[in-house]
Structure 1
């Protein structure tokens, strides 16, 4: 029995890693988004938030699903272990953003349209932005450099896989744990880790005549914390008019660090009969993502030492400056009500479940696993 348990658990872990491959397109887009960091700290934060917010919000919504597949809590020592995969649907309005509507300090659209895809939008874009600054030689505001904004992933969903184990304790109460130890997932070239804890409690026992009701009533709370990190590779601009005082090693250590926390509170009603459980309910959810970019990043600026009559590289018209950790964002989802419905099929010890949640970012969830009692 123990060896069988180990094999099933390993299989669920493998499925979890495979499911992470569905975000491979998004991970590739993060590498392209590194160009945004050429804009300097203030404008880069503004652009990066608009570009990435749909995925961070959708991912938080996905983490808030899949906590339960029945309204009834496990009996004492009853348990199940499952792999759940959620996919939040990114609304069309959040698949694009208008650069001209952002409070940018140095950036202006110089080519293409001002509307460009977010990370969840179309893969192609023709939007280029220019970095403008005051030229110390003449006092005029001029373009220093330009870069193209990244396209989207072409995948308007935010997937969120998780492995979960639930155990019944006492008084119609069960606890759930989600855990993926921090590891490097080669399919997405990123380090990931997940921890979550949830509690569900049956309330029929506390209601007058509650045990006679034809349905099960329960309340549930769940909390998740997800960490991820990936590498960036933003090289300095090159050109005969640009002075770069830094060695290539200056740009080592570039990366992105992401932490998402998500919390949900739910009231559930449902019924379990042989082989099938159905449930529905309402709840409240919230999520928050912090985003940082450690390392040094190159920014092109006008050179105050510019001398057109000199051959000294240090007197070229432009120069590369180094900016440390330009991105430091906190992206919050709007706290929102949610309504959900789902069902679970059981065959011996095996379980298959599915649910749908209506919220700011509506979410599908499917789960496979096994359990006893």
Structure 2
């Protein structure tokens, strides 16, 4: 049974349900096999495969903080449910395994280009590891890199509340308690931001026909899922491999994803009775960390190998355990950005949308209620 990276499926499905036009897919990755390739190669391959997801997820989380340049009046507030959708650049949809500097694995075949998680839905390259044992070149393991999702976007859902305070200042909060989504996993989200009007500090600023403000937002999102990778999944040749562990050794396997994203922007906008429009420039950054708590099986040469013995313990290969094999930190390919958006308000109900131009450009669409 192959391992499914269910935490990625869960995140994408939760984001995708907010987009009626988005394609639905139940599998976005199958990278369990790389866990057996050794700590260094597993981390290298995980980083290469997931890098656009990290950058795109951070860019998506950095959207949706505001829908006007104007701040709420004192004790005015809004609650907005929205979803960001980052666009993955074509250059980030594949990678060349020959450029990764793999330590243990070798490319099988001639084509070294493999899809990333947001690349084409074609099976990735075939990789294998070999070892010289008793004068023979023995194959320890072999696996294909996972296929891409065929979906060149990274969505992120969010719920935001904002309240007006004194001095033309607005406090913004994002919060979702730990929530289970079926068998896919769980997530929780927290974010804090602020927007401050600067017309009041400019000579004649209150006479200007536009609203000027600065804003900051920080979001942290955690996603987790249980995993199930028994030794049987990594043993190619049962007759030549000694398994010293019982099944309980692999209990407690899980995967955890943690994303930090922040942005700071200068905004200018104009509000009318029904529509508000704004634009701005700013900076964004993000970081995605992925860890795999628990022990995971791998196949290694058996130091007790004896070709003249028929004992189980002397087979040429054996199952070994890797503790927490993946510990990857991916900085988002973010930076300077420009953004523009609008809000349509009908009494207390509003619809909002925005577009952000950056290395990972993104859209955001939201609905909510607002007062003052």
TM-score of the two chains, using structure 1 as the length reference: 0.91
Partner residue of 1:343?
342
Q: 1:182 and 1:17, CA in 2 relative to 1: closer, same or farther beyond 3 A?
A: farther
Q: 62, 78, 85: which is aligned to 1:64? A: 62
Cα distance in 2 for partners of 1:20, 1:81 equals 19
Give the match's secondary structure for 1:161: strand
Cα distance in 1 for partners of 2:96, 2:52 equals 14
Give the match's secondary structure for 2:325: coil
Q: 216, 222, 239: which is aligned to 1:221? A: 216
CA contact (8 A) 1:305 1:315 kept: yes
Cα distance in 2 for partners of 1:17, 1:198 equals 25
CA contact (8 A) 1:137 1:304 kept: no
CA contact (8 A) 1:270 1:280 kept: yes
- Cα deviation 1:321-364 (Å, max 9, x = unaligned): 00100111111124500000011101111110000001110000
Structure 2 residue 19 is matched with structure 1 residue 33: no
Task: After superposing the two structures, state which structure 1 stretch, 35-44 or 232-241, moved more.
Answer: 232-241
Cα distance in 2 for partners of 1:247, 1:192 equals 31
CA contact (8 A) 1:113 1:126 kept: no
Q: 1:117 and 1:363, CA in 2 relative to 1: closer, same or farther beyond 3 A?
A: same
Query: How far is the alpha carbon of 1:67 from its aligned partner?
Result: 0.4
CA contact (8 A) 2:15 2:155 kept: no
Partner residue of 2:186?
191
The 5-angstrom pairing of residues 1-373 of structure 1 reads 18-19=17-18, 25=25, 28-30=27-29, 32-111=30-109, 113-133=111-131, 135-138=132-135, 142-186=138-182, 189-236=184-231, 237-238=234-235, 239-373=238-372
Give the match's secondary structure for 1:77: coil
Where structure 1 has 5 or more consecutive residues not aligned to the other structure, the ranges are 1-14
Where structure 2 has 5 or more consecutive residues not aligned to the other structure, the ranges are 1-13
TM-score of the two chains, using structure 2 as the length reference: 0.91
Cα distance in 2 for partners of 1:29, 1:99 equals 20
- Cα deviation 1:88-143 (Å, max 9, x = unaligned): 0011111111111101100111146211111111122252100133x3533x7653
- Cα deviation 1:208-242 (Å, max 9, x = unaligned): 01011111000000011110111222232332111
CA contact (8 A) 2:42 2:326 kept: yes
CA contact (8 A) 1:20 1:161 kept: no
CA contact (8 A) 2:174 2:192 kept: yes
Provide the alpha-carbon RMSD of the alignment: 2.0
CA contact (8 A) 2:188 2:223 kept: yes
Give the match's secondary structure for 2:239: coil
CA contact (8 A) 2:353 2:365 kept: yes
Give the match's secondary structure for 2:209: coil
Query: How far is the alpha carbon of 1:289 from its aligned partner?
Result: 1.2
Query: How far is the alpha carbon of 1:308 from its aligned partner?
Result: 2.5
Q: 1:59 and 1:16, CA in 2 relative to 1: closer, same or farther beyond 3 A?
A: closer
